[in-house]
Structure 1
């Protein structure tokens, strides 16, 4: 992950990592190491600074911590709220049933 400005790319990256963790039977201890290894460029620089800040505050940095701060950075609450609103306002309109179903399924995962 490069730190792309596309929030959905960040969400997809986390989802893909979690699928990989299941397939590989990745232990909780290894999840953080694997995720950090997959960061490049701006995202890697961001994590190095964030990790130092968290460690200095005595925070236990594990996969769940990483996932939380990663999503706060790359998929902020404002974007999640916008996706929820888009889901709630979704109407079929001129879309085919298939197109509508795809859009519905895509947006439903953001609704909590």
Structure 2
């Protein structure tokens, strides 16, 4: 299950790099939550939300996001990512971008029944 934590303020992180990117050291100093692939739907959403909040505060470019987030995956989630890497290498597709990572992540860890239920709720609101 994801461990929800408050992200530290930019002042606690010695400000961002002058080049507008972010470093693993800065990312790690925020004490990002880990995700083990278990838990309810909210745990999946909370983990992504927390990680993206950190990326936003640090003004991370797209390039390091998957690497940094991958470091916070443990257990079943880490095994899933490792199998994804093997598949991509076999297909010759190589590096994955953050948007594709999130898509694949939600496909794997966000139960289809919850996705369909939320779609119905949204349809009923409109």
Structure 1 residue 39, shift from structure 2 partner: 0.2
Give the equivalent residue in structure 1 for 2:59. Answer: 25
Structure 1 residue 88, shift from structure 2 partner: 5.4
Contact 1:5 1:74 in 2 (8 A): no
Q: Deviations over 1:18-66 (max 9, x none)?
A: 1110101112111011110010111101110111102221224121221
Give the equivalent residue in structure 2 for 1:98. Answer: none
Query: Of the two, which has the highest radius of gyration?
Result: 1
Alignment of 1:86-101 (within 5 A): 86=121
2:68 maps to which of 19, 34, 50 = 34
Q: What secondary structure, in the 3-state scheme, does the structure 2 residue paired with 1:30 have?
A: helix
Structure 1 residue 67, shift from structure 2 partner: 0.8
Query: Normalised by the size of structure 2, how large is the TM-score?
Result: 0.63
Distance 2:85 2:48 in 1: 18
Alignment of 1:35-74 (within 5 A): 35-59=69-93, 60-74=95-109
Aligned pair in 2 of structure 1 residues 76, 54: CA closer, same or farther (>3 Å)? farther
Q: Which runs of 5+ in 1 are unaligned?
A: 91-110
Give the equivalent residue in structure 2 for 1:75. Answer: 110
Query: Normalised by the size of structure 1, how large is the TM-score?
Result: 0.70
Give the equivalent residue in structure 1 for 2:8. Answer: none
Q: Which runs of 5+ in 2 are unaligned?
A: 1-34
